[in-house]
Amino acid sequence: MKAFISGGCKNGKSYLAARLVSALDGPHYYIATMIPSDDEDDERIIRHRREREGLGFVTVELPRDIDRLPANCDPDGSFLLDSATALLANEMFSGGGYDADARVKVCRDVLALIGKVRNIVVVSDNIYSDAFIYDEMTENYRRSLGCVDRAAAGACDAVIEATFGGVMIHRDTGGFAGIYEKII
């Protein structure tokens, strides 16, 4: 099973993804991409760790170069990549610089990872709903995340949207609905 989950901030994406991955076969790996920059990030990391307690996850911190999965990870296991949003930010804004074309590398790396493993859930944030006009760098980040999201969603069996604690299944060719019924 390969699934892509998107939705707004704090809408239960990571919680749903952790439950889904824990219901799949093999060892369970949580690929953490966030590089915390403030207290809110620290609190989010603590909350996500609590949500995964007792689910048997091994945490793999991989904030960049996501295609270089550590050798000690079993590709026949089940992976949770949380999140494409942070991964793109890490690649685009690393070292105080700005890489306007980071989406190319992130798309390539995410697709390589999806192709390497048996089961994966990729989490991303829906940041496209507002009507604000941002500066060029922010707009490029938003467009770039859209590219990454489309690539990941296209490579997955299931495309799911987490909305206000609910779930909308946009595509399911891999049996997500049956697993979802068991985990809710």
HEC string of the chain equals CEEEEEECCCCCHHHHHHHHHHCCCCCEEEEECCCCCCHHHHHHHHHHHHHHCCCCEEEEECCCCCCCCCCCCCCCCEEEEECHHHHHHHHHCHHHCCCCCHHHHHHHHHHHHHHHCCEEEEEEECCCCCCCCCCHHHHHHHHHHHHHHHHHHHCCCEEEEEECCEEEEEEECCCHHHHHHHHC
50, pLDDT greater than 90: no
174, pLDDT greater than 90: no
139, pLDDT greater than 90: yes
Confidence class of residue 129 from pLDDT cuts 50, 70 and 90?
A: confident
Q: Which residue has the higher pLDDT, 178 or 122?
A: 122
Query: Locate tokens 């207290």: which residue?
Result: 39
147, pLDDT greater than 90: yes
Q: What is the mean pLDDT of the chain?
A: 91
Mean pLDDT of the 39-63 span: 87
140, pLDDT greater than 80: yes
pLDDT at 182: 85
Mean pLDDT of the 96-119 span: 96
Confidence class of residue 136 from pLDDT cuts 50, 70 and 90?
A: very high
Report which listed range, 90-99, 104-113, 162-171, is most confident. 104-113
Residue 29 near residue 79 (C-beta atoms within 8 A):
yes
**Which neighbouring-strand residues pair with 23?**
none
Phi and psi dihedrals of 17, rounded to 5? -60, -40
pTM for the model: 0.92
81, pLDDT greater than 90: yes
Residue 119 near residue 79 (C-beta atoms within 8 A):
yes
Phi and psi dihedrals of 135, rounded to 5? -65, 165
Domains and CATH numbers, the chain: 2-183 (3.40.50.300)
pLDDT at 116: 94
Distance, CA of 163 to CA of 9 (rounded, Å): 9
55, pLDDT greater than 90: no
Distance, CA of 28 to CA of 21 (rounded, Å): 7
